[in-house]
Structure 1
Amino acid sequence: MTAEHEWLSLDPDEAVVWTGQPRVWRIAGTVAGGIAVALLAVGGAAYVTTRIPYWPGDPPVNPGLAVWGIAALIAASQIASAGWAYLKVEHTDYVLTNRRIYRKAGVLSETVTSVGVDRVQNTTLRKDWRGNLFDYGTVAVSTAGSGGADLTVSDLDDPEAFRDALQEQVRAAGERDDGDGGDRAPAAGALDDATVETLLEEARRLRAVAERMEERA
C-alpha cells in the first residue's frame, strides 16, 4: 500500500489494478468565474475612486479605502473558492481492485464509498461534446436491483481505460463464482441424500403401519 492510498484497507486476496483522480480541468469554470468577479470588483473600485473627486460631508472612514477594502474581500473570496475547488479534486481518489471499486472524497473529513465488482450489473459511460473533444468523461456504476447509479467515477481523463479495467474484473468475478459453484457447501437447511433416503424409509414404514391398522378395523 502506497502512502498515497493510506486510507485504503484491502483484504489479503485483494490487489489494486487501477487508480485515478478527477481531471483538474473540472474546476476551470469555477476559476474563470472567480477571475471575472474579482476583475469586476477591482474595476468597480477603480471607477468609483477615480470618478468621484470628493465625498460630501465628513465621512468617518476614508471612502476610497472602504471601496478598495470591499473589492479586496470580494477578490479574496473568489480566490478561496477556487482554492477549495482544487482541494476537493486533489482529495478525491478512485481505486479499482480485483474485488471492489472505491471512491474517497473529502477535504476536512474523508468519506469512502465502495461497491463489489461481483455486484456490478451495468456501467454507463457519459461524455458531453467537450468530453468527446478532450477525451474525458464519467462512468456510472449500477448494481442489480438499484434504481440508479450506486457509484459515479466522475471527470476522468481516458474514461474508457477505467471502464475496460472494470469490465475485465467483473468478468473475472463471474468466472470465480462459476468455478466455485461445485465446491460450495450445501445451503443452510438443505438435506443430503442419506437424510432424504432415511426420511423416505420412515415414511414407508409409517404408511405400512397405518394400512395394517386400517385392515384390523
Structure 2
Amino acid sequence: MSDGEMTYDWLTLDADEEILWSGKPAPETMYGAYLTGIPLILLVGLGLVIIGGAYLNRQNTDYVVTNKSVYKKTGILSRSVSEVEYEKVQNTSFSVGVVGRYFDYGNVDISTAGGSGVEMTLRGVKSPQEVQKRLSRRVKEIQGSTATDGETKSDVLDEILTELRAIRTAVERDGAGGTDAARRDAEEP
C-alpha cells in the first residue's frame, strides 16, 4: 500500500483532486497460479501460460483512491478504467479468504445507490480492512459534510421535518371546515 507518490498515465484528476491511497493486487495473490502452473509446466508446458497470465493481470491492475473518487484500471491488451464517486457509494465491505488471512490480503467491495449489488471490487489488496476503513471514513466525510449551499444532511432533514409539521398543522386546521366546503363544491353543478 502506497500513499500516492506514483503518477498514472491513465488517470486524469481534477485540479483539486489528490491521491490518498494507491495499490495493486498483492504479490501473494500469485501463489495459486504458482501452485497450479508449476506442476503443469512439468507435465504439459501449459503452466507458463497460467503463471504468465496471472502475472500480467496483476501488473496491469491498479487501484487509486482520491479525495473525490475510487478508480480501478484493468486490462492486459486493452484498458478498462472504472470510477465510483463517494456521493454514490451506499456501502463498503471487505472479505478475506483462508490464504488471505495468513498473508493479509483480500477484496474490498464498493456498492452504490441504485446499482444492483457490488459496483467495484478491489481484488487482492494488502490490508483490506484498513483500505475499507479508509474508504468508509471518506464516504462518511463526503456524504455527511456539505450540501450545495453549505447545509449538512442533518440541517436539510430538520428543515424537511419542520415543513412537514407545518403542512400537517395546516391540513388538520383545514380538515374540520374543509370537508364541508369540499362537499358544497361537489354538490354545485
TM-score (norm 1): 0.63
After the TM superposition, which residues 35-46 of structure 1 pair with which residues of structure 2 at under 5 Å, given as runs?
35-39=38-42, 41=43
Q: Contact 2:90–2:113 at 8 Å: present in 1 too?
A: yes
Could you tell me which of 14, 17, 28 is aligned with 1:14?
17
CA-atom RMSD in angstroms: 2.1
CA deviations over 1:86-130 (Å, ceiling 9, x no partner): 011011000000111000001111100110011111011111222
Task: State the distance in 1 between where 2:149 and 2:130 align.
Answer: 29
Distance 1:117 1:165, change over 3 A: same
Q: Does residue 163 of the first structure (1) align with residue 132 of the second (2)? A: yes
Change (3 A) 1:90 1:4: farther
Which residue does 1:149 correspond to in 2?
118
Give the drift of 1:78: 2.0
8 Å CA contact 2:86, 2:143 repeated in 1: no
1:101 aligns with 70
Structure 1 residue identity aligned to 2:12: S
Counterpart CA distance in 1 for 2:141 and 2:148 is 10
Letter in 2 for 1:112: V
User: Percent identical across equivalent pairs?
Assistant: 34
- Richer in strand (by share): 2
**Shift of residue 161 of structure 1?**
2.0
Distance in 2 between residues matched to 1:12 and 1:163, nearest whole Å: 25
User: How far is 1:158 from its partner?
Assistant: 0.6
Extract unaligned runs of 5+ from structure 2: 152-189
